[in-house]
Copies of this chain bind each other. A is one copy, B any other.
Amino acid sequence: MASTAAARVLSPSSLSSPSSPVSSSSGHTASLSPLKAQFLARPLRQSSFGSAFFATSKGSGNKERSHTTPVRALIAPDGGSLVDLVVPEKERPARLGEAASLPSVTLTPIDVEWVHVLSEGWASPLRGFMRQSEYLQSLHFNSLRMADGSLVNMSVPIVLAIDDTVKDSIATSSSITLRAPSGEAIAIMRSIEIYKHNKEERIARTWGTTAPGLPYVEETITNSGNWLVGGDLEVLQPIKYHDGLDQYRLSPAQLRKIFEEKQADAVFAFQLRNPVHNGHALLMTDTRRRLLEMGYKNPILLLHPLGGYTKADDVPLEWRMKQHEKVLEEGVLDPESTVVAIFPSPMHYAGPTEVQWHAKARINAGADFYIVGRDPAGMGHPTQKRDLYDPDHGKLVLSMAPGLERLNILPFRVAAYDKSQGRMAFFDPSRAEDFLFISGTKMRNFAKTGVNPPEGFMCPGGWQVLVDYYQSLSSNSNGSLTKEQPKEPVAV
């Protein structure tokens, strides 16, 4: 019979929930004891990036640590080396000249976010928008086969759609220029391949539904062209947004450098697109405690808010970043062992399919532990009164996904407000009546209506940011759309 555990799913008692598949008897996923996991993780991480080496501090990070502490190498990027598609500075003038002479495609803002993602190697080993062979493998298998026969995970198609007119204008050229909405040339795509964009099939296989109202679909697919164009990218300069947040947009290479400087021997990533409340904080600090118990000396948290496209009723990035700042300022999370950075990918809301992308991209940034919760990348069904995805499927699919075998998956327990202790705590079903669940919607309503959440739900400074955000909305609700304001009314 087929065994079903690919990635190693760790379930230290405080991380695994009673209802967690990890501890279920049906054998969905391999359940490793913390100790076993510790030893399992090491040889894998080493073999994937050569053996341990002696790091020399580059002047930042833990000053109190010896500069010759043996540190294990970070997990290797998919494909063995990190893809970097940005043209070296000295070659840029020549490339810019060439770009001006090539037929071009003007991108949407979300296309530009994908160029950013590709340019920094988040999607390593992908070197550009997908050609048909990658597209079909991603769509059907959620993975890409390497020349050596091995598989890397790639669950969401990263594709560029064009309409018939654009197709005709580039069809005879093997290289094309990609332009930002402003008209600025941002990349050259080489050896292009144009193939059919079957939107219905792409949507059905990626989201598991074709119901109207999927945010990413309505934003990027429904009105897009009937062709896809793929090829190898040469990005003419690093992608910047000039929105005051670029300093948080660290590339996988920059993150790896920081983790090495901090002499991290474990990096655990937390993907989020919501404000951090004390339940999240509890989970992250508890994860670090567990990793220390497992024998790691310096586990580093990558607090990694998604920074690309999100749906209208999510809290916008700049407000989330203000909120995360407060969480660190007010000591809810330990600044020394936490790295906050922006993950530049757009959000698909594709549940079990997308969570693989979220995890795979973090491997490329050096994370070897990934925290996964209930219904990752999920949302309500757009036309039915239910979750779009089974809340357990994300965790299960992630644990079985091809190409993620090297990743340690940390399923987490639901935290809720414990009325008996007046703070957020891991939910204890034996005294369920003590717990108060505060959903995202409920939290938003509190903030919108100026109601304070129970003491201890979120640090005061962080909460104030949310209140300010929703006040900025109402104060702007004279119709003029501002960057902070969702394109649609906030769902309540």
Cβ–Cβ contact B28 & A132, under 8 A: yes
Given contacts A1-B127, A352-B140, contact A133 B209 (CB under 8 A): no
Q: State the number of copies, please.
A: 2
Residues of B contacting A127 in the complex (Cβ-Cβ under 8 angstroms): 1
B-facing mask of A427-446, CB < 8 A → 1, else 0? 00000000000000000000
Chain B nearest CB, measured from A77 CB (Å): 14
Bound CA–CA A301/B279 (angstroms)? 64
A364 interface hit (Cβ, 8 Å): no
Bound CA–CA A196/B28 (angstroms)? 15
A59 interface hit (Cβ, 8 Å): no
B-facing mask of A416-429, CB < 8 A → 1, else 0? 00000000000000
Cβ–Cβ contact B144 & A2, under 8 A: yes
Contact of A201 among B146, B147, B152, B208 (CB under 8 A): B208
Bound CA–CA A405/B149 (angstroms)? 9
Cβ–Cβ contact A200 & B209, under 8 A: yes
Cβ–Cβ contact A402 & B4, under 8 A: no
B-facing mask of A1-38, CB < 8 A → 1, else 0? 11111100000000000000000001111000000000
Bound CA–CA A79/B2 (angstroms)? 8
Residues of B contacting A296 in the complex (Cβ-Cβ under 8 angstroms): none
Q: How many residues of A contact B (CB 8 A)?
A: 56
Chain B nearest CB, measured from A292 CB (Å): 30
B-facing mask of A356-386, CB < 8 A → 1, else 0? 0000000000000000000000000000000
Measured CB to CB, the nearest residue on chain B to A131 is: B26
Contact of A137 among B144, B201, B400 (CB under 8 A): B400
Bound CA–CA A393/B4 (angstroms)? 28
Contact of A146 among B3, B28, B196, B205 (CB under 8 A): B3
Contact of A141 among B193, B196, B401 (CB under 8 A): B401
Cβ–Cβ contact B145 & A3, under 8 A: yes
A134 interface hit (Cβ, 8 Å): yes
Chain B nearest CB, measured from A393 CB (Å): 7
Given contacts A132-B396, A201-B208, A204-B208, contact A402 B2 (CB under 8 A): no
Q: What would be 9 A-B contacts, judged by CB atoms less than 8 Å apart? A: A1-B127, A2-B133, A2-B154, A4-B145, A26-B131, A140-B352, A140-B401, A200-B211, A204-B209
Further 9 A-B residue pairs, CB within 8 A, beyond A2-B133, A132-B396, A205-B208: A1-B126, A6-B145, A28-B133, A136-B396, A141-B400, A145-B400, A201-B389, A204-B205, A209-B210
